[in-house]
């Protein structure tokens, strides 16, 4: 997310208008609308469903509330595998269930484009763990919460998201590509249906929604950290010829600031190395993990800046326990 001046793979998803879909089921609708531009990383909500959002968790056959349908942003329990921070949207059968049956989950966000003249391209991080094909799956928009239009040409989560069991950034999702007007209030829905638990053969996760999509989304990866041995910390998809500030905290995740940028780390944070980014937007740091840190948990992230230090973008947060 761009943080100054006001990964995993990347999939470009073009969209073409589709026929209205009216059988998504009785989806709960939010009571308010958030203005565009819009960003949602679920960290500010911290498990409390905001007024511009509504969650639905129903049985696919009866279309009534199902206690084993899992539509969770931290309101039902701790999130299992957020892309960044401690919270994300999780949709599937409730974790641990062996009562395998189809459930339908949805997150509907109310958006308002009144007076907004910017791009309607959306990006988000998405995760899927082996979803089968169901007609309601996908990303949708609606003017009234009844007639829904699909925003992507891909029609299943297995084709919307490439890898199984990994987060992937989706880009190029144009909310204005359907007959639904984005010039005023409208609804955006992420819908999932399947029969196995979240993160256990089924399930869809969503994190870091941005409208409009930003220029860069740095992806941060770390090898295993073992005391006394080399580790490699790599950031990619960052601003070309920019700067990478590697940060760490022993405290946890949070919202401490670094050079005016809100990070995903809790104070106090330490900038343990600063590296230049190459023309491809990549920086690699290799060093020996200090001896004596076995069993210590650290939280680390990279803040990247463009070549003139005018804007910055943050990576995902990694939690590592040193072996």
- Would you write out the chain's pLDDT as a tens digit for each of its 323 residues? 333 332 334 444 544 445 566 679 899 999 999 999 999 999 999 999 999 999 999 999 999 999 999 999 999 999 999 987 789 999 999 999 999 999 999 999 999 999 999 999 999 999 999 999 899 999 999 999 999 999 988 889 999 998 899 999 999 999 999 999 999 999 999 999 999 999 999 999 999 999 998 889 999 999 999 999 999 999 999 999 999 999 999 999 988 999 999 999 999 999 999 999 999 999 999 999 999 999 999 999 999 999 999 999 999 899 999 99
For residues 195 and 35, the answer to whether their CB atoms sit within 8 Å is no
Superfamily of domain 10-211, CATH level 4: Galactose-binding domain-like (2.60.120.260)
DSSP letter for each residue of 71-132: EESSSSS--S--SSTT--EEEEEPTT------EEEEEEEEEE-TT--S--EEEEEEEESS--
If we measure between CA atoms, which residue out of 211, 210, 254 comes closest to residue 46? 254
For residues 79 and 73, the answer to whether their CB atoms sit within 8 Å is yes
The residue ranges of every structural domain in the chain are: 10-211, 219-321
CA distance 109 to 31: 10
SS3 of 49-74: the string is CCCCEEEEEEECCCCCECCCEEEECC
8: tokens are 């995993």
Sheet with 219-222: list strands edge to edge: 219-222, 230-236, 283-288
- CATH 2.20.130.20, applies to 219-321: yes
The residue whose two tokens read 């969770």 is: 72
Which residues, at least 6 apart from 44, have a Cβ–Cβ distance to it below 8 Å?
A: none
Q: Phi and psi (nearest 5°) for 191?
A: -125, 140
Would the pTM of this model clear 0.85, i.e. be above it?
Answer: no
């Amino acid at each position: 997310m761009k943080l100054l001046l006001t990964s995993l793979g990347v999939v470009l998803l073009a969209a073409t208008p589709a026929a209205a879909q009216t059988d998504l089921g009785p989806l709960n609708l939010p009571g308010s609308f958030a203005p565009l531009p819009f960003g949602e990383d679920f960290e500010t909500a911290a498990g409390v469903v905001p007024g511009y959002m509504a969650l639905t968790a129903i049985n696919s056959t009866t279309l009534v509330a199902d206690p084993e349908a899992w539509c969770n942003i931290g309101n039902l329990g701790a999130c299992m595998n957020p892309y960044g921070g401690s919270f994300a949207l999780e949709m599937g059968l409730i974790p641990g269930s062996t009562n395998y049956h189809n459930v339908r989950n949805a997150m509907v966000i109310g958006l308002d484009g009144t007076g907004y003249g910017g791009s309607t391209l959306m990006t988000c991080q998405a995760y899927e763990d082996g979803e089968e094909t169901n007609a309601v799956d996908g990303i949708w928009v609606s003017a009234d919460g009844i007639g829904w239009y699909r925003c992507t040409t891909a029609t299943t989560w297995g084709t919307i998201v490439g890898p199984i069991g990994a987060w992937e950034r989706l880009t190029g999702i144009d909310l204005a590509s359907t007959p639904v007007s984005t010039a005023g209030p409208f609804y955006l829905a992420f819908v999932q249906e399947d029969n196995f638990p979240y993160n256990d053969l089924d399930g869809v996760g969503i994190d870091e929604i941005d409208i409009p999509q930003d220029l860069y989304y740095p992806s941060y990866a770390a090898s295993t950290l073992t005391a006394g041995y080399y580790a490699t910390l790599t950031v990619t998809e960052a601003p070309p010829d920019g700067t990478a500030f590697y940060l760490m905290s022993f405290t946890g995740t949070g919202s401490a600031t670094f050079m005016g940028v809100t990070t995903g780390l809790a104070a106090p944070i330490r900038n343990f190395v600063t590296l230049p980014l190459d023309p491809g937007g990549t920086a690699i740091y290799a060093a020996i993990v200090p001896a004596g840190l076995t069993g210590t948990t650290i939280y680390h992230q990279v803040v990247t800046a463009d070549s003139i230090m005018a804007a910055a973008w943050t990576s995902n947060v990694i939690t590592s326990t040193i072996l």
